[in-house]
Each structure stands twice: as structure tokens, then as C-alpha cells.
Amino acid sequence: MIQSVSGFEGRLRLSCRNMKGDESRFVFDIQWFAAEDEGRTEEPTEQKIRKAREEGKVAKSSELTSALVLLFPVVMIGILAPFIFQQMAEMLRYFFSSSAEIDVTSQSTIVPVFYSYFIKLVLPIAAIAFVAAIMGNVFQVGFLFTVKPITPDLTKIIPRFGRFFRKSLFSGEALFNLAKSILKIAIIAFVAFLNIRNDYPKLAHLVSTPFLLGVRTIASVAFRILVEAAIAMLLISLPDYLFQRRLHIESLKMSKQEVKEERKQAEGDPMVRSRLRERMRDLMTRNMLQTVPRADVVITNPTHFAVAMEWKRERMPAPMVVAKGQDHIAARIREIATEHNIPLIENKPLARALFQEVEIGDVIPEQYYEVMAVILAQVYRMTGKAV
């Protein structure tokens, strides 16, 4: 009959039932040794990326900012077109009507009037362009303020023409920028061609069209060309941003030695860390001997290794290692276990595996549930303790 058992407690109960009729299940011939290959990477670390960001070196596309700076003001001009036209008409009317009356040698009247009209016409467009420029940068790099890129650096004064020409003319970035510029020109030309072709009959009769109607026609065509070109530039900026991100990561890549040096600086001197580990190991050794009396069983090698196991069903998902040791520490664990009448069970592969793979205070991995359940079942049978 096949039974489905989940969790350590279920396996323990199953093992207790089987212990009554099958003592041979106590012996297991299993190999529990595995090795992991630790690889290295030369990708930039988080610390490297964070430091570059603090210095203003981030991945961003100027095309996205340019497209937003073009699109938002053009849309604002379209929305404020009646107001702008009205203000321009009033300005022209005022200066033409006052041209024969204003004293040109005195600026007390003409200058304030000029600045008032200038602010009314330019300020809304400039403000929305400023907001669009900030949004374009925030969307790409978040809120970042640093003066590092504009800090004078005398080392950059030395000309490096070979490197400059190689990067500007004979690199993947140069080819990408060339292709991007050609694509932008082609798209703008195509958008302009489509709009002009659609309104060609109206444009051809502008000579016989009233002045205001002609201005409205030309403004309508120009507005559509600018909006559609800005949207096209916005779409182009998306692959450009991805390309700039890749270039940014490539520029931050580190050698293996740099990774080692950064890790050494972040973690400290290996000698100091080694001494700290030894101190911690000594403290854990002294403390763990005090936890041996609360163990349920001690698994031995029989002489080289000793692992004390505790199993409290109410607060543990599986048995936990409360103490472990090798050679003289293992002998001391066995002495303490004998003094407190804790069973000693010899199981060489299990003792070695638990000693090498499980730290003190950790529960055993699932692959050891079955063999540990059999051992505890034997212990409970020997001591008469209920499961």
C-alpha cells in the first residue's frame, strides 16, 4: 500500500509504525555530498552604479527630452493661439498708433509696455517647455541633483584627439547616432510631405485668399507638422533610451580585479574578517555546549563527529541542530550527552553530512527527513517517549 506523507512529523509517525516490524530500515547507504561552482561576473555592481549616479553618470536619451520640449510647447501654442493672436494684434495696434506720439528719446513708456506684452506671449510657452524638460529627465533618471558634471576638471583639458575621433566617427555609438539623425530627417520630411500634399489645393490659392484666412491655413499646416514630428521623435526616443542604457552599463563594466577590490573595501580586510569568524566560532562553541542537555539525540561518526539534535513538534518544523563538533569538541558533546542520559546514535554518513551542511540553530534539510525520522523513532522506542 502506497502512503503519501508530507512534512517531518508525518514521516516520523510512519517510521514509528515501521520500527515495530522492520528494524533493518535503520541502516541507510546514501551519499549526501554535493559541490557548487562559484562563478564570477564583470557586470557593474550596485555600489559602482550608485557611485556613478552620484557623479551624474546616468543613462538617458536626449531625444526623449527634446521630443517633450517640442511637443508640449507646440500643444500649448495651439491651445493659446486665440490669446496669442489677440495679444499680438493689440501690441501691433498700440505701437503703430503711438509711433507718431511716443518720444523715442524717453524709454519711460515704451519699455514697460514692451516687457508686459513679451511676458504675456513668452512666459506660458517658456514655462511649459521648462516643465517638459524636467519631466523628460525625471522620467529617465528620477530626481537627481548633482554639480559633479559641471565641476571644473583640469585633467579633461588635455586633448585626446585620437580617442575623440574614434568615439565620434568609428564606434557603434557614432553609427547609431548617424542612423538616428538620418531617420529623423526622413521622418520629418515624410510628415511634412504628407501634410503639404493634403492641403496643396489650399496652399496653391493663397495668393487669392484673404490675409487672415491664409495665416490660419499656414498655421494649421505648420501646427500639424510640428505635432506629428514631435510624436515621431518621441517614438524614436524609446529605442534610443534602451541603447543609451546598454552603453551606460558597458561603460561601467568592471574587471575582475576591480570587483575584488570593491568587495574587499565593502567587506573589510580578509584577515580581520577571519579573526572575527574565529572569535564568533569560539563563542558559539562555548555556548553550544550549554545547549547539549536539551537535545533529544546525538548522532556520532562515532569518534570524529558529533551532532546534537533537538525536536520540539510545537515550535519546530523539523529537527534542529543545537550543537556540533569535531574531534575533541565531539568528545565533549558525547560526554555531556552521557551525563544527561541522551541517546548516542552512530550513523557515519548522516553525522558527517549534518556537520558539514547544517549550521547550529538551523533545521535539517528535507532530504534528511526520512533518515532522521527513523532515528528519532528508534530513540522514542528506546526511551518509551510518545511521538
Q: What is the pLDDT of residues 161-218, one digit of tens each?
A: 666 666 666 667 778 888 888 988 999 999 999 999 988 888 888 888 888 888 888 9
Distance (Å, whole) CA 367 – CA 349: 13
Range of the domain at 130: 60-145+167-251
Residues 221 and 323 in one domain: no
Nearest-angstrom CA–CA distance, 330 and 300: 8
Indicate whether 195 and 77 sit together in one domain.
yes
CA distances from 47 to 50, 142, 239, 248, 272 (A): 5, 18, 27, 15, 22
Q: In this structure, are residues 325 and 309 in contact, taking their beta carbons and an 8 Å threshold?
A: no
The CA–CA distances, whole Å, from 272 to 138, 262, 282, 284 equal 43, 16, 15, 18
Pair (101, 190) in one structural domain = yes
Assigned domain for 26 exists: no
Identify whether residues 212 and 309 lie together within a single domain.
no
* Same structural domain, 233 and 355: no
Q: Which residue has the higher pLDDT, 44 or 164?
A: 44
Radius of gyration of the chain (CA): 40
Higher model confidence: residue 386 or residue 117?
117
Instruction: Looking at the structure, tell me whether residues 298 and 181 fall in a common domain.
Output: no
In this predicted structure, what is the pLDDT of residue 164? 60
Both 65 and 172 in a single domain? yes
Average pLDDT of the chain is 77
In this structure, the answer to whether residues 235 and 365 fall within a common structural domain is: no
Per-residue pLDDT of 232-285, as tens digits, reads 988 888 888 888 888 878 777 877 777 777 776 666 556 666 777 677 666 666
Residues 119 and 244 in one domain: yes
Task: Give the mean pLDDT of 64-92.
Answer: 89
Give tens-digit pLDDT for 346-368. Answer: 888 888 888 888 888 788 888 88
Q: Are residues 195 and 117 both part of a single domain?
A: yes
Query: What CATH number does residue 296 fall under?
Result: 3.40.1690.10
Q: Where a domain ends, among 251, 280, 300? A: 251
On whether both 188 and 325 belong to a single domain, the answer is no
The total of structural domains in the chain comes to 2
Same domain, 219 and 79: yes
